[in-house]
A and B are shown apart, each in its own frame.
Chain A
């Protein structure tokens, strides 16, 4: 049962890697595997090229997730502080590829994927809201979860869990005046 389900996906991933190698050659991305995940690390300058190739040449038509990670203080970490991952999915073969791009302080910036997928709009806004990673070319890069007047990026590791007093920053209404 397990071989029946895993072997096609491995085949799809191998086919994807083959197609990508014919497009990009060596040195653009590095591929690793963990269980049934295929992960491609790519520098930010070639991120859009790789995503475009995955969408147009390899059939990964759906961007199912964009997320961020802050590796500040992560043991043994030598690469960049932030990492943004894009999970793309081929709707015909149900294969999944994770594309990861690292960015670093100060002013972490990545090219936006909104020209490729409209659905990246809100997901990139969420990554911006939580991590402060800007997406160049995003049509409407505003906060999406936190209030407009919020200044910090709460999922960064150097932001305290209990905040910096924002949750107490409201006027107090008393019985006498309300």
Chain B
């Protein structure tokens, strides 16, 4: 029903000439839309994402390609790469994160103002990739919240565009104008992670994922021969 046109009174044609606007179809002028404040704020946010490119490896090169003219991240309103976390609301972790880099990543994440989102780009950022060694963190989602994962080594630029579109859908769906508490269906997992904060490192993660031994990986030949004291 076109809004703003002559409202159709409910029921039979009025004989008295009195026009009654029913309460479930209020009269709205033309070019005026009704929505919620959260919805408008989220709509503004999702088309003005400012990414923080945390590019540590070859994924960063693909990220640059996304920002350049051929793939043109500006079509999605996310072209303003900022190198100060204070000005960003979308962290893109592109590349492997060494254990020496993880505190830096966490600090940058904490420095970003709310609301903020995170994309884990590529196999290394998501799982450690081929770098299953003592020095490389096996997935940044163990230590910072991640909203969207991108597979690939490195991912195609189209995948990054797809991830930005997913982030936009998520921004539209979750969060209020006052902050971003994440999606309601993920709060259970957040609670779980807070409860398991004090479990010794390496153990809660294994229990959580269910497919790993204490080295953070299911070894093909069974558990390692080293004793528990060697794993701290």
Give, as a whole number of angstroms, the nearest-CB distance from B17 to chain A.
Answer: 59
Interface string of A143-155 (1 = CB under 8 A from B): 0001100000010
| Contact residues in B for A139 (Cβ distance below 8 Å) | none
Known: A170-B103, A170-B143, A178-B145. A160 touches B224 (CB 8 A): yes
Q: Interface size on A (CB < 8 Å)?
A: 23
Q: Which among B8-16, B34-42, B128-136 touches the partner chain?
A: B128-136
B136 adjacent to A167 (CB under 8 Å) = yes
B134 adjacent to A163 (CB under 8 Å) = yes
Any A CB within 8 A of the CB of B216: yes
Interface of A is mostly: loop
Interface string of A134-171 (1 = CB under 8 A from B): 00000000000011000000100001111111111111
Any A CB within 8 A of the CB of B78: no
A178 adjacent to B144 (CB under 8 Å) = yes
Task: Give Cα distance in the complex from A154 to B182, angstroms.
Answer: 39
- Name 7 interchain pairs, CB-CB below 8 A, sorted by A: A159-B134, A162-B216, A164-B232, A165-B201, A166-B99, A167-B136, A170-B102
B100 adjacent to A173 (CB under 8 Å) = no
Known: A171-B143, A178-B110. A161 touches B99 (CB 8 A): no
| Contact residues in B for A167 (Cβ distance below 8 Å) | 99, 134-138, 216
Any A CB within 8 A of the CB of B217: yes
Interface string of B91-116 (1 = CB under 8 A from A): 00000000110110010011000000
Task: Give Cα distance in the complex from A169 to B92, angstroms.
Answer: 22
B226 adjacent to A162 (CB under 8 Å) = no
| Contact residues in A for B61 (Cβ distance below 8 Å) | none
Interface string of B155-199 (1 = CB under 8 A from A): 000000000000000000000000011100011001001100100
Task: Give Cα distance in the complex from A81 to B224, angstroms.
Answer: 24
Any B CB within 8 A of the CB of A33: no
Task: Give Cα distance in the complex from A162 to B219, angstroms.
Answer: 10
Interface string of B206-232 (1 = CB under 8 A from A): 000000001111000000101000111
A171 adjacent to B106 (CB under 8 Å) = yes
| Contact residues in A for B135 (Cβ distance below 8 Å) | 146, 154, 163, 167
Known: A174-B190, A174-B193, A176-B181. A165 touches B144 (CB 8 A): no
